[in-house]
Structure 1
Amino acid sequence: MTGSDRREDIVRRIQESGRPVPAKSLAALYHVSRQVIVQDVALIRAAGYEIISTNRGYILGTAPSVSRVLKVKHTDDQLEEELCAIVDLGGAVENVMVNHRVYGHLEADLHITSRRRVAEFISDIKSGKSSPLKNITSGYHYHRITADSEETLDMIEEDLRKRGFLVEPKEDEREGHDETEYTLLH
């Protein structure tokens, strides 16, 4: 195996691992010294990969992402459908935001990235721990959604539009006349 092949394989192993990958384990796997692995990681970083050294091993940094804030509205019964539509297309629902006429801007982190996380969130809501934040604003709310590309965000936005969840901004919101709405949209 060449050094280049080994470095490609190291990146693959770190990407696919669910936990930090120790340099000692990589060295044993490739029958090289730990120092060779440290040098390989330096070359991998120089090639543009964000590899982070932890006390338990190497992990891959977060992938570059783009985000968009979308205004949506749906019923409680459609909550799971909305979240699954987003994660199924490769998006992550980072938060939920509402603009209440009395309380002002309220925001809660969600970090929903998979159907498993959707199921956990829905389970928490159904357990009676709380109700969706959207319920204090007649169902209207915003999500900051992250994805790997603008194209993915476009697909998510189009899918939410087709499902009837997307609230199209009013003309005055696009031009910035409604400052509360405008700051969330941009």
Structure 2
Amino acid sequence: MTGSERRADIVRQIKEARRPVPAKSLAELYHVSRQVIVQDVALIRASGYDIISTNRGYILTGPESVSRVFKVNHTDEQLGEELCAIVDLGGNVENVMVNHRVYGHMEAELHINSRRRVTEFLNDIERGKSSPLKNITSNYHYHKVTADSEKTLDMIEEELRKRGFLVEQKEDTGENNDET
């Protein structure tokens, strides 16, 4: 089981529980340390879930929204197709990020949540206001996408994979295979 699969299952366990779920119980269930569970819960919270820690365990009060970071690669001509694929399934493209070998981590807010916003963004690019940030890293880039549920994010991930935009990453290797 990968870390992301474990975290998704932790959310399910806490959501379905009738009482608070202790970290110790989760650690035993997944054969990991209690500290791994604490770190997983921190990541789950960062993705939008409202998990409360009580002296008896974790309680999930429900997500307002959830998020996921997707690593993608495509041409300038496919930019609109990528963004529309995300917003058509209910996603909000919060930002674009690149990791450049010289300049380091760079990020720009986008907040694209409709085809109208996609069109406005593409028009701005065409008018020469700027060029896509992905161009400095051989088209490799990341998007933080928010949605109403993990199911929606799963559908977006599958659509990006189907269109050949998703860059598959090895779980927890620490590898940074971005291009310059």
Identify the TM-score tier after normalising by the shorter chain. 0.5 to 0.7
Runs of 4+ in 1 over 2 A off after TM superposition: 175-178
Counterparts of 1:95-174 in structure 2 under 5 Å?
95-169=95-169, 171=170, 174=171
**Aligned-pair Cα RMSD in Å:** 1.3
Q: Displacement of 1:125 after TM fit?
A: 0.3
TM-score calculated relative to the size of structure 2: 0.62
SS of the residue corresponding to residue 64 of structure 1 reads coil
Gaps in structure 1 of 5+ consecutive residues = 1-62, 182-186
Taking the aligned partners of 1:109 and 1:148, their CA distance within structure 2 comes to 19
Counterparts of 1:18-167 in structure 2 under 5 Å?
64-167=64-167
Taking the aligned partners of 2:173 and 2:161, their CA distance within structure 1 comes to 22
Q: Displacement of 1:176 after TM fit?
A: 3.3
Taking the aligned partners of 1:74 and 1:147, their CA distance within structure 2 comes to 22
TM-score calculated relative to the size of structure 1: 0.60
Task: Write 1 or 2 for the structure with the bigger share of helix.
Answer: 1
Which AA in structure 2 matches 1:177?
A: G
Identity of aligned residues (%): 75
Gaps in structure 2 of 5+ consecutive residues = 1-62
Structure with the greater alpha carbon radius of gyration? 1
Q: Displacement of 1:177 after TM fit?
A: 2.8
Taking the aligned partners of 1:124 and 1:177, their CA distance within structure 2 comes to 35
Which AA in structure 2 matches 1:121?
A: F
Q: Displacement of 1:148 after TM fit?
A: 0.1
SS of the residue corresponding to residue 118 of structure 1 reads helix
Taking the aligned partners of 1:131 and 1:161, their CA distance within structure 2 comes to 24
